[in-house]
A and B are shown apart, each in its own frame.
Chain A
Amino acid sequence: MSRKTEKGWRFLDHIADIRMEASGRDLTELFLHAAEGLTELLGAGEHLAAEKEVELALEAGSAEELLVDWLREIHFANTTRGLVLARAHIQQISDTSLKARLLFAVRPPEEAPDIDIKGVTYHGLVVEKTDRRYLARVIFDI
Chain B
Amino acid sequence: MSRSRPFKLVQIDDVRWEIPKTGGMRVPGLIFANAELLRGVQNDDSADQVYNVAHLPGIVGRSLAMPDVHSGYGFPIGGVAAFDLDEGVISPGGVGYDINCGVRLALTALDRDQVVPHIKGLVDALFAHVPTGLGSRGGIRLNRKEMAAVLTKGAAWAIEQGMGEESDLDRIENHGRITGADPGVISDRAYERGKDQLGTLGSGNHFVEIGFIEEIFDEETARQWGIFPNQVTLMIHTGSRGFGHQVCDDFLARMVKGAAKMGIELPDRQLACARLGTDLADEYLAAMSSAANFAFANRQIMMHLVRTTWEKTMKLSPRELQFRLLYDVCHNIAKFETHEVDGESRKLCVHRKGATRAFPKNHPELAPAYRITGQPVLIPGDMGRASYVLAGDPGSMKETFGSACHGAGREMSRHEALRRTKGRAIERELQDQRQVYPRAAGRKTLREEFPNAYKDVGLVVDVVQRAGLARKIARIRPIGVTKG
- Measured CB to CB, the closest approach of chain B to A58, in angstroms, equals 11
Interface residue count for B (Cβ, 8 Å)?
Answer: 42
Q: Is B216 part of the binding interface, using a Cβ–Cβ cutoff of 8 Å?
A: no
User: Is B346 located at the chain interface by the 8 A CB criterion?
Assistant: no
CA distance A69 to B269 in the complex (A): 14
A138 to chain B, nearest CB (A): 11
Chain A interface, DSSP helix/strand/loop, else mixed: loop
Residues of B within 8 A of A54 (CB): none
Contact of A118 among B242, B269, B272, B443 (CB under 8 A): B242
Taking a contact as CB atoms under 8 Å apart, the answer to whether B189 and A76 are in contact is yes
Task: Give the distance in Å from the alpha carbon of A76 to the alpha carbon of B187 in the complex.
Answer: 13
Smallest Cβ distance from B351 to chain A, in angstroms? Answer: 16
Which residues of chain B are near A118, meaning CB under 8 Å?
97-98, 242, 245
Q: Is the CB of B204 within 8 A of A15?
A: no
Query: What is the CA–CA distance of A64 and B134 in the complex, to the nearest angstrom?
Result: 28
- The answer, among A16, A69, A80, A125, for a CB contact under 8 Å with B72, is A16
CA distance A87 to B145 in the complex (A): 37
Expressed in whole angstroms, the Cα–Cα distance for A123 and B242 within the complex equals 19
In the complex, are the beta carbons of A80 and B70 less than 8 A apart?
no
Is B484 interfacial (CB-CB < 8 Å)? yes
The answer to whether B135 has its CB under 8 Å from any CB of chain A is: yes
CA distance A50 to B177 in the complex (A): 44
Assess whether B77 is interfacial by the CB under 8 Å rule: yes
Does B372 belong to the interface (CB within 8 Å)? no
| B231-251 Cβ-contact flags toward A at 8 Å (1 or 0) | 000000000001001001100
Q: How far is the CA of A114 from the CA of B135 in the complex (A)?
A: 11
Give the residues in chain A near B269, CB-CB below 8 Å. 64-65, 122-123, 125
Q: Are B73 and A116 in contact (CB under 8 A)?
A: no
CB distance from A82 to the nearest CB of B (A): 8
Q: Give min CB distance, B198 to chain A, whole Å.
A: 15
Interface residues on A, range: 20 to 34
Q: Does A61 contact B260, Cβ atoms closer than 8 Å?
A: yes
B73 with A121: CB separation less than 8 A: yes
CB pair A123 B270 closer than 8 Å: yes
Contact bitstring B403-422, A, C-beta under 8 A = 1, else 0: 00000001011111000000
Cα separation A79 to B249 with both chains bound (whole Å): 14
A119 and B245 contacting across the interface, CB-CB below 8 Å = yes
> A99-130 vs B: 1/0 string, CB under 8 Å?
00000000000001111101111111100000
Q: B466 → chain A, closest Cβ, in Å?
A: 25
Q: Which of A16, A68, A80 contacts B192 (CB 8 A)?
A: A80
Residue contact B256 to A65, C-beta cutoff 8 Å: yes
User: Is B268's CB under 8 angstroms from A15's CB?
Assistant: no
Asked whether A14 is an interface residue with its Cβ less than 8 Å from the other chain, the reply is yes
Q: Is A53 close to B, CB under 8 A? A: no
Complex Cα distance, B77 from A112, in Å, reads 29
Known A61-B260, A79-B193; contact A16-B242, beta-carbon cutoff 8 A: no
- Which residue in B193, B270, B416 is a CB contact (below 8 Å) of A121? B270
Q: Is A10 an interface residue (CB 8 A)?
A: no
Check B242–A65 contact: CB distance below 8 A: no
Residue A26 lies at the interface, judged by CB distance under 8 Å to chain B: no
A16 and B413 form a contact (CB under 8 A)? yes
| Least CB distance, A9 to chain B, in whole angstroms | 16
Q: How far is the CA of A15 from the CA of B73 in the complex (A)?
A: 11
Q: Which of B85-129 contact A (CB under 8 A)?
A: 93, 97-98
Do the beta carbons of B256 and A112 come within 8 Å of each other? no
Smallest Cβ distance from A116 to chain B, in angstroms?
4
Alpha-carbon distance between A87 and B44 when the two chains are bound, in angstroms: 37
Q: Is A139 an interface residue (CB 8 A)?
A: yes
Is B71 on the interface with A (CB-CB < 8 A)?
yes
B residues in contact with A14, CB < 8 Å: 71, 413
Whether a CB of chain B sits under 8 angstroms from the CB of A13 is yes
Contact A141 B257 (CB under 8 A): no
Q: In chain B between 435 and 483, which residues have their CB closer than 8 angstroms to a CB of chain A?
A: 442-445
Chain B residues with CB under 8 A of A40: none
- CB proximity to A under 8 Å, residues B244-291: 245, 248-249, 252-253, 256-257, 260, 268-270, 272
What chain B residues lie within 8 Å of A56 (beta carbons)? none
Q: Please indicate the chain A residues that have their CB under 8 angstroms from the CB of B410 in the complex.
A: 15-16
The answer to whether B415 and A119 have CB atoms under 8 Å apart is no
Contact (A16, B245) CB under 8 Å given A114-B443, A125-B269: no
**A54-74, CB under 8 A of B: which get 1 and which 0?**
000000110011001100100
B74 within 8 A of A: yes
Tell yes or no: B400 within 8 A of A by CB.
no
**List of B residues within 8 angstroms of A113 by Cβ:** 134
- Complex CA gap A122/B256 in Å reads 9
- Cβ-based interface call for B203 (8 A): yes
Apart from A122-B256, A124-B73: 9 A-B pairs, beta carbons within 8 A: A15-B70, A15-B410, A15-B412, A61-B257, A114-B444, A115-B134, A116-B202, A123-B268, A123-B269
**12 contacting pairs across A/B (C-beta < 8 A):** A14-B71, A16-B72, A16-B77, A65-B253, A76-B193, A79-B193, A116-B134, A118-B98, A119-B245, A122-B252, A123-B268, A125-B269
